[in-house]
Structure 1
Amino acid sequence: ALLPALGGRVFLTTGRTGLAAFAGLRDLWFLVRSVDAPGPPRPPRMEVLLDRGPFTLDGERELLSRHRIDVLVTKDSGGEATAPKLAAAREAGVPVVVVRRPPVPEGVPVVSGPGEAARWVREAHARRRPPGDPHVSG
């Protein structure tokens, strides 16, 4: 709902599965960057850029300029991978819309990093095995 007031040329980096939310925006043009080709539903006026990061600040600057991007839509991925495009947008004065992550469903474990995730998997695996099972490893 925010986009028409922010710009007409959108750099959309929410991933290929998030395009349905933008499919009805017929007056905007989208540059969609994703790892895999998006399927329908999707915006009618768009160009797809299949690419995988990491992306550089210089590369993101050039992309915004070449495609005359005037608004960036990205998702809150929780990592540093978005830093170059956010910095390039800030430098160019391009407004940014950040799509929040959906809330974590109740009862779903949340971990803070790979080490904690590996520990959780080992512990969950151990809880599923009967005591003394020789297939449990540390």
Structure 2
Amino acid sequence: VMGSRQVLGHCERLEGFRHRMEKAPGFSIVDIIENGDDEICSYERTKHLLDDHQDISAMFLLAGGVYGACRAIMQLPEPERPLTIAFDSVPSTVEMMRKGIVKAILYQHPTRQGRMAISIAFEYLVNGRMPDKKNYIMKNEIRLLENL
């Protein structure tokens, strides 16, 4: 479940996921849905996806709309719920982790990313200072219920 193919970060997450999962025996992607990072759209499209593909055993929620997708997952009987991984520990995603729906969160330090981007832009626009690097790579973390 992704936000939009028009967002570079979402596409890169999807490509990274595909690249890694190509090596997993017996794994296949049954469908990729877009939700526009909208909770209602995410709920409706995820519910439709789960109805159409009752054999789904795992879900990767790689953008916004996690709460909506999880609400659709919660409608399934507990033994039939897919293992679910999401991005960013926003309050609604943490809530879904505490309910046992999301098993892991990929955390990418959004506050640090935002501050760094604004700082680099400020230095360039106000002081004429070019960034030190072309890319600034931030460390990602895997959050489980035990290390929230």
Normalising by structure 2, we get a TM-score of 0.45
Superposition TM-score, scaled by structure 1 size: 0.47
More helix by share: 2
Q: Which has the higher contact order (CA 8 A, sep 6+)?
A: 1
Between structures 1 and 2, the one with greater strand share: 1
Higher alpha-carbon Rg: 1
